[in-house]
Amino acid sequence: MARSLLLGAVLLLSQLPLMVQGRAIGDRSALAKRDILQEHISVTNLQVNAGTSGTYPRVTTIGDGSLLMAYTEITGSEHVLHVLRSTDRGQSFTPYGEIARGSGDVDNPFLHQVPGSNRILAAFRNHDRSDDGTYTYFRISVCASDNGGKDWQFLSQADEFSAQSSHGLGDWEPFIRDGADGRLQLTYSKELAADNQETFRVLSGDGGATWSSPVNLQIHSPSEHLRDGMQGIASIRDSDGREALVIVLETTRHGTFSVEYAVSYDDGASYGNRGVVYSPAEGRNAGAPQIANVEGKGLVTVFMTDEESAAGQWPNAAKIKASVSPGLNGGQMTWGPPAEVRGENSHWSGALDIGGGQVMVVYEYNGSPRGVDLELVVVACVCLVL
């Protein structure tokens, strides 16, 4: 019997509270156990489509006002990237399209509409494997839809290389945003060594048809070996008036995973002012973060953590949690203690600002991070009244 998969929508509303003081990189002091957001969480279940299965959901808003959700279904050796559509602001989702399918490692879909166009892009990892499971070729592929996400065709490779040329080191987890200069910015995680991973970026001025050469953004020092990954980016204005981007990522500063942020004042060409979003107790993990801006009121980072489960169960027993920052002040941020969004066996959350002071977060629930066949049965609407 297929397991159930829950895709959740987190709606963050109203005014942001005062937050606890931030911590410097490397500080593992425990936050207060009382969760200042927890008492404000309520849950409403919303029908999605019984029988749909998948993992790694990501959601976006398109020009006609509908929401599109992409996710990966894995059945045996076949991976399929599906699209669900909502025309009632996330109250329900129904099957709508198929982006791509393959017998290799096809996963990590991310959706984005090209500004001033009906074209919707889907970026994803698209890797080849040999019969024994060894990676032979790595790609970040891009497909396009010109009819609202229903039909898709291959468009371009944002990055590709053989496993032989990279000594088996790959690239993962694409993210697309609009640059201030009108070009698309596609960032992704790329391995430099088994214990070292960085965020790379490519640019497109023709709607994703072609991409620039990859650039290593060096969000951590070249002298450090950190496995930065699962990046998400949100724009915000610093309290000093400067336009900025905040990137969140999981990293391995303490051996296990924790969540950190960095700040860019040049539209993502470089990042500095690195700090901590959340670092769990020693030996536990917090990772797979995504971030959204709540209409200029502050930022919300969602991530998964195993801090309350038995040791050695990462990432299978993780919970989804959310942490809120009131904003950016001279390159520095403070983040509140995390509120639980969904309990154990929740994974790979994505976040989207849907307006009205609300952020929708989608996530896999009660499934395997390796893509065991899951049954998607509901969407949970979790309202964090801040």
Q: Give the CATH number of the domain where residue 221 resides.
A: 2.115.10
Number of domains in the chain: 1
For the segment 140-185, what is each residue's pLDDT rounded down to a tens digit?
999 999 999 999 999 999 999 999 999 999 999 999 999 999 999 9
Q: Hey, what's the torsion of the CAs at 221, 208, 205, 242, to 10 degrees?
A: -50
Range from 203-217, 222-236, 331-345 carrying the lowest mean pLDDT: 331-345
Q: Which of 15-19, 21-25, 224-228 has the highest average model confidence (pLDDT)?
A: 224-228
Q: Residue 86: inside a domain, yes or no?
A: no
Q: Residue 152: inside a domain, yes or no?
A: no
Residue 305 contacts residue 286 (beta carbons within 8 Å) = yes
Instruction: List the one residue out of 257, 194, 186 whose CA is nearest residue 217.
Output: 186
Residue 110 β-bridge partners: 123
Q: Residue 323: inside a domain, yes or no?
A: yes
Q: What is the pLDDT of residue 24?
A: 54
Q: Which of 11-15, 77-81, 179-183 has the highest average model confidence (pLDDT)?
A: 179-183
Q: Residue 289: inside a domain, yes or no?
A: yes
Which residue shows structure tokens 């500080």?
A: 27
Q: Is the pLDDT of residue 44 over 60?
A: no
DSSP letters, 242-285, are -EEEEEEEEEEEESEEEEEEEEESSTTS--EEEEEEE--STT--
Q: Residue 140: inside a domain, yes or no?
A: no
Q: What's the CA angle centered on 297, arms 293 and 302, to 5 degrees?
A: 40
Q: Residue 130: inside a domain, yes or no?
A: no
For the segment 303-323, what is each residue's pLDDT rounded down to a tens digit?
999 999 887 789 888 999 989
Share of the chain above pLDDT 70, in %: 80
Q: Is the pLDDT of residue 288 over 80?
A: yes
For the segment 80-103, what is each residue's pLDDT rounded down to a tens digit?
999 999 998 887 788 899 999 999
Q: What is the pTM of this model?
A: 0.87
Q: What gap in Å lies between CA 181 and CA 179, rounded to an integer?
A: 5
Residue 38 confidence class, pLDDT cut points 50, 70, 90: very low
Handedness of CA 175, 177, 179, 184 (dihedral sign): positive
Containing structural domain, residue 199: 3-76+165-385
DSSP letters, 39-95, are GGEEEEEEEEEEEE--EEEEEEE-TTS-EEEEEEEEETTEEEEEEEEESSTTS--EE
Q: Residue 82: inside a domain, yes or no?
A: no
Q: Residue 159: inside a domain, yes or no?
A: no
Mean pLDDT of 239-248: 97
